[in-house]
Chains A and B, each alone.
Chain A
Amino acid sequence: MTITPVENQTPGFVAAAAAASGAFFGLFIGTSQGSGLLGILIGAAIMAALGFALTAMLSKEKPIRWLLIAAFAVAGYGTGGLPAALLGGAAGWFAGWFIFWLATSRYRAHLAPYLTSGQVLWHYAFRVICGAIFTFLITPILVVMPLSFNAQDFFTFTPEMLRFDPAGYSLKHYRDFFGNQAWQDALWNSIRIAPMATVLSVTFGTLAAIGLSQPHVPFRRAIMAILISPMIVPLIISAAGMYFFYSRIGLQGTYMGVVMAHAALGIPFVIITVTATLVGFDRSLTRAAANMGADPVTTFFRVQMPLILPGVVSGGLFAFITSFDEVVVVMFVGSAGQKTLPWQMFIGLREQLSPTILAVATILVGISVLLLATLELLRRRSERLRGMSPG
C-alpha cells in the first residue's frame, strides 16, 4: 500500500486537469453560441494556460483569485453586458478555485492517504456526475420561474430581461391568473376535486390494504393485481374505458364522476404504501387489544392506525398529487364544467402560449415545495416525540 502525501503538483498535471474542466464548460457555452467544438478548444486552451501559469505563483493565491474574478467579469461585460459579467465572474471564481485546489493537492487533504489516483479521480467524478444529473433535472423547472415574470406575452428571455432592466419584468401574468375567470374556475375545480378524490382513495386504499394483508382472504394476489391495474394500464386506455362506462350510467361530465375516476387512479398508491408499512406491523398487538376488550373498530383507530399512519399519509399525498396533476382522464370523464388546472394549462399550451401558464407553474411548484417541507417537518417532529431519532 502506498501513501500519497499532500504536496504541490507539477504544472503539466494542473494544466491538463484544468483543460479538461475548461473543455467541459466550453462545450455548453460553445453550443449556445453556435459551435460546440470551438467552445471546447477555447475553453481548454484558456484553462490550460491559466493552470500552467498559476502553478508558479502559489504564494499569492488570494490576490490572484480576486484578479481572475475581475478579469473574467470584465471580459464578460465586454461581450454580453451585465448578465455575461455575472456569469464571467462566476467562471473566474471557479477557475481560480479549481486551479489552486489542484495545484496544492488540496483535493487529497480530506481523503484517506492510501487511495490510488484512480480512486481519487472516481471519488470526484462520481460527484460531478451526480451534480450534472441534478442540474439537468432541476434546470428546466428553474428556467420557468424568471420567464413567468416576463413583461411580454411570449416564452422568451427578452433583451430587457437579460439586462436586468425592471421594464422587462412584470407581474401581469400573475394578475391574469388571479383576475381571469377561466383560470379561477379551473383552480376552484381542482381544489374541489383533488381533496375529495384523496379522501376516497385513502379510505378505500387503506381498507383494501388491511384486508389484503389478512392471510385468510382468498385470491389475494389476483385482487391486488386488479386494484393496482390503474397504475399499470396506460392512462389513455383507462380514460377511454371510463368515458364509455360513465356515459352509460350518467356519471360522465359530473363532479362525482371525475372524483371517482381520480379516486380509482389514487387507490393503487395508497395500497402500495400502506401494504409496505403493514409488513412491519406486529399482529400480536391487535390480539393484545382484543384480549383487553377492545372491539375491532377501536383496535383499528387506537392501535393499528397510529402505527401505519406514515404509510397512509404518504399514500394520500401521492393520491392528491395524482388527482391535482391529472389531465388525460379528466378530459374524457369531465366536461367543460369540471375543467381543472392541468386541463386549463394544457389548453393554454396548445392554443395560446401565454406565460400565465408559467406563472401558474411557478405557484404550483411553490405550493409543492411548501407541502413537502411541512410534511417533512411534521415527520421529524413525530419521530422526535416518539423517541425514534436522537434529534
Chain B
Amino acid sequence: MKLTKLSALVASTALCAPMAMAQDMADELTIVSWGGSYSASQKNAYHDPYTAMTGVKIINDESSAEAVAKLRAMNEAGNVTWDVVDVVASDAMRLCDEGLAEEIDHDADLAPAPDGTPASEDFGDLLVSECFVPQIVYSTTFGYRTDLVGDTPPTSVCAIFDLDAYPGKRSLQKRPIDNMEWALYCDGVAKDEIYDVLSTPEGVKRGLDKLGTIKDNVVWWSAGAETPQLLADGEVVMGSTYNGRLFSAIAEQNQPIAMLWDMQSFDLDGWIIPTGLSPERKARAMDYLRFATDTQRLADQAKYISYGPARASSAPLVGKHAELGIDMAPHMPTDPANATNVHIYDYEWWADNRDDLNAKFQAWLAK
C-alpha cells in the first residue's frame, strides 16, 4: 500500500517536472528519423505519449538517410531546423567529430534505470560516442523464400555464395560494409582475423573475388524496403536487409519468408542533438531525449518493431506485439537463440577505411 502511494508520488512528480519548466522551452519539435514502420514505432512509443504529457507538437521528417549531408549544409547556412535526429552509430561518430552534434553527459542528461543504475552503466558498451544516445540494436541479416530453397533451408550465411544448392538471385546492400566480411568469412577466413585480412590489398581482392563468384546473380539494394519487396515477388531467393523489415514481412504480412540469423551484423541506431540550436529549443530537445530513452519507453518501442532496446534494464520489460499479440523476445536480434554466431562490425576500422574501400567497391561494381 505504502509502496503504491510512493510510486504514484514519484510518477506524478516525474510528470510534473517537465511541465514546470515548460515556459523556457520551445513548444514544437522536429524529429528526424527513417520513415516507414520504424518511424511508426517511434511515434507510438515516444512521440504520442510525449505530446500527451506536454502538449508539444512533434513534426516528423524522414530524412535520416541524408542526415549527415543535410546537417553539414544547415550548419553552413546557419539555419538548423532539426531538433532531434535519429542516426546510425557511425554517422553519429562522424557528426560528433565534425562538431555538428552536441556532447551529452549520459549520467546527468538521461534517466537512470528504475533500480537507480546510472544511464552509462545501463547502456554499457553501446555508448560508442559522447554525442550519441543509443536507442536500438538492429542487425543486417538474411531472409530467404521458404518455398524456393527446396528441402534444405540454409543454415549458414555461406549459402549466399552457394549457387549450386540455392540457384537464383540474391539481394545484397550496395556497399562494402558487411558484404566484404561475409565474403572473407565464407572464403575460409577465421572470424577474428577478418579485419586483419581486409587491411591488406590482397585481402580486399580476395573479398571482391569471392563476391565476384555471385556478382551476376546479385540484385544490389540501397533502401531497406527493397529486399522484402524482392522476396515477396520471388525475384530473389535470399537477401540481406534490416531484421525488422523481415519481421514485418513474415509476421505482419504473412509472406513465405524465414530468417537466417547466422553471421547477422549488429549495428546501433540512436539519437543525436544537432549543435546550433537556440537555448529554448535545446532545452526542449534534451527534455524529449530524457523521456524517450528511459527504460520503459525503449521497452515500449519493441512492441511495434523487432529491434532490441539498447538499455539492459529494458530487456526484461519487452512484451508482446501491440497488434499481433505474439511474444517479441524471440524475434529480437539479441535473443540468445538468434545470436549464436554474430558478426560484430568494427566501427573504428570502417571509419578509417570506409572511403578507400567504398571507392574500390564501386569501381568493382562498375566493371
Do A and B interact with each other, yes or no? yes
Give residues in A with beta carbon < 8 Å to B.
Answer: 152-156, 182, 240, 243-244, 247-248, 252-253, 335-337, 339, 347-353
Q: Are B253 and A335 in contact (CB under 8 A)?
A: no
B253, A351: Cβ atoms closer than 8 Å: no
Residue of A152, A240, A252, A339 near B79 (CB, 8 A) is A252
Is B132 in contact with chain A by the CB < 8 A criterion?
no
A352 to B241 CA separation, bound complex (whole angstroms) = 12
Q: Shortest distance in angstroms between B289's beta carbon and chain A's nearest beta carbon?
A: 18
Given A335-B30, A335-B61, residue A243 in contact with residue B81 (CB < 8 A) = no
Structural contact, A351 and B224, CB atoms closer than 8 A: yes
The answer on a CB contact under 8 Å between A336 and B61 is yes
Residues of chain B within 8 A (CB-CB) of A350 are: 35, 65, 223, 225
For chain B, residues 221 to 254, give those with C-beta under 8 angstroms from any C-beta of chain A. Answer: 223-226, 228-229, 232-233, 253
Q: How far is the CA of A182 from the CA of B35 in the complex (A)?
A: 11
Shortest Cβ distance from residue A343 to the other chain B in the assembled complex, whole angstroms: 9
Question: Of the candidates B36, B79, B81, B233, which one forms a contact with A351 in the assembled complex, judged by CB atoms under 8 Å apart?
Answer: B36
Residues of A within 8 A of B228 (CB): 154, 353
Task: Please measure, in the bound complex, the distance between the C-alpha atom of A241 and the C-alpha atom of B35, giving whole angstroms.
Answer: 27
Residues on B with beta carbons closer than 8 Å to the beta carbon of A182? 60
Known: A182-B60, A336-B60, A350-B223. A154 touches B73 (CB 8 A): no
In the assembled complex, B37 has its CB within 8 A of some CB on chain A: yes
Extra 15 A-B pairs, beta carbons < 8 Å, given A154-B255, A156-B233: A154-B228, A243-B73, A252-B77, A252-B79, A252-B81, A253-B79, A336-B30, A336-B60, A350-B65, A350-B225, A351-B34, A351-B36, A352-B35, A352-B225, A353-B226
Residue of A nearest to B61 (CB): A336
Interface, chain B (partner A; CB < 8 A): 30, 32, 34-39, 59-63, 65, 73-74, 76-79, 81, 223-226, 228-229, 232-233, 253, 255
Main secondary structure of the interface of B (DSSP, over half): mixed
**Bound complex: CA of A244 vs CA of B253, how far in Å?**
43
CA distance A243 to B78 in the complex (A): 11
CA distance A352 to B223 in the complex (A): 8
* Bound Cα distance A349, B62 (Å): 12
The CA-CA distance from A145 to B193 in the complex, in Å, is: 52
Known: A336-B60, A337-B59, A350-B35. A247 touches B78 (CB 8 A): yes
Complex contacts, B59 vs chain A, CB 8 Å: 335-337
Q: Report the 5 A-B pairs with minimum CB-CB distance, sorted nearest first.
A: A352-B36, A336-B61, A351-B35, A247-B77, A351-B36
With A248-B77, A336-B59 given, is the CB distance from A353 to B225 under 8 Å? yes
Nearest-CB residue, chain A, relative to B80: A247
Q: How far is the CB of B15 from chain A (nearest CB, A)?
A: 26
Choose one: A156, A247, A252, A339; the contact of B232 (CB below 8 Å).
A156
Q: Which residue of B lies closest to A158 (CB)?
A: B232
**Across the interface, which residues of B come within 8 angstroms of A154, CB to CB?**
228-229, 232-233, 253, 255
What residues of chain A lie closer than 8 Å to B253, measured between beta carbons?
152-154
Counted as pairs of residues, one from A and one from B, with CB atoms less than 8 Å apart, the total is 73
In the complex, the answer to whether A248 meets B78 with C-beta atoms within 8 Å is yes
Q: Write out the residue numbers on chain B whose beta carbons fall within 8 Å of the beta carbon of A153.
A: 253
Q: Contact between B229 and A353 (Cβ–Cβ < 8 Å)?
A: yes
* A253 contacts B60, C-beta separation under 8 Å: no
Residues of B within 8 Å of A240, CB to CB, are: 73
Contact partners of A335 in chain B: CB under 8 A: 30, 59, 61, 81
Cβ of B234 to closest chain A Cβ, rounded Å: 8
Q: Is the CB of A352 within 8 A of B37?
A: yes
In the complex, are the beta carbons of A244 and B77 less than 8 A apart? yes
In the bound complex, do residue A152 and residue B232 qualify as a contact, i.e. CB atoms below 8 Å apart?
yes
Report the nearest A residue to B79, measured CB to CB. A247
Give the shortest distance, in Å, between B72 (CB) and chain A (any CB): 12
Which residue of chain B is the closest to A337 with respect to CB atoms? Answer: B59
Interface centre among A244, A350, A352 (most CB of B within 10 A): A352
Question: In whole angstroms, how far apart are the Cα atoms of A180 and B337 in the complex?
Answer: 37
Instruction: Sample 16 A-B pairs with CB under 8 A, ordered by A number.
Output: A153-B253, A154-B232, A155-B229, A240-B73, A247-B78, A247-B79, A248-B77, A337-B30, A337-B59, A349-B223, A350-B225, A351-B34, A351-B62, A351-B225, A352-B35, A352-B225
Q: Which residue of A lies closest to B37 (CB)?
A: A352
A253 adjacent to B76 (CB under 8 Å) = no
Contact A347 B229 (CB under 8 A): no
Residues of A close to B65: CB separation below 8 A: 350-351
CA distance A64 to B223 in the complex (A): 54
B79 — which chain A residues lie within 8 A by C-beta?
247-248, 252-253
Q: Are A347 and B62 in contact (CB under 8 A)?
A: yes
Structural contact, A351 and B30, CB atoms closer than 8 A = no
Known: A152-B253, A248-B77. A351 touches B223 (CB 8 A): yes
Cα–Cα, bound, A153→B248 (Å): 10
Query: Shortest CB–CB separation between residue A191 and chain B, in angstroms?
Result: 19
Residue of A nearest to B66 (CB): A331
B359 vs chain A, min Cβ distance (A): 22
Which A residues touch B60, using CB under 8 A? 182, 336
Q: A245: nearest residue on chain B (CB-CB)? A: B77
Using Cβ atoms and an 8 Å threshold, which residues of chain B touch A253?
A: 79, 81
Complex-state Cα separation, A337 to B226, whole angstroms: 27
Q: How far is the CA of A347 from the CA of B73 in the complex (A)?
A: 20
Report the Cα distance A244→B62, complex, angstroms.
21
| Complex Cα–Cα for A83 and B353 (A) | 53
Question: B223 contacts which chain A residues (CB < 8 A)?
Answer: 349-351
Most chain B CB within 10 A, of A154, A182, A349, is at A154
Q: How far is the CA of A153 from the CA of B77 in the complex (A)?
A: 40
Task: Give Cα distance in the complex from A146 to B34, angstroms.
Answer: 29
Q: Which chain B residue shows the least CB distance to A335?
A: B81
Give the docked Cα–Cα distance between A337 and B61 (Å): 8
Shortest CB-to-CB span from A211 to chain B, Å, is 34
CA distance A247 to B223 in the complex (A): 29
Report the nearest A residue to B245, measured CB to CB: A352
Tell me the bound Cα distance from A58 to B232 in angstroms: 50
Say yes or no: A243 contacts B77, CB within 8 Å. yes
Nearest CB of B to A233, in Å: 19
* Chain A contacts for B78, CB-based, 8 A: 247-248
Partner of A244, one of B35, B61, B76, B81: B76
In the complex formed, the residue of A with least CB distance to B74 is A247
Residues of chain B with a CB closer than 8 A to A243's CB: 73, 77
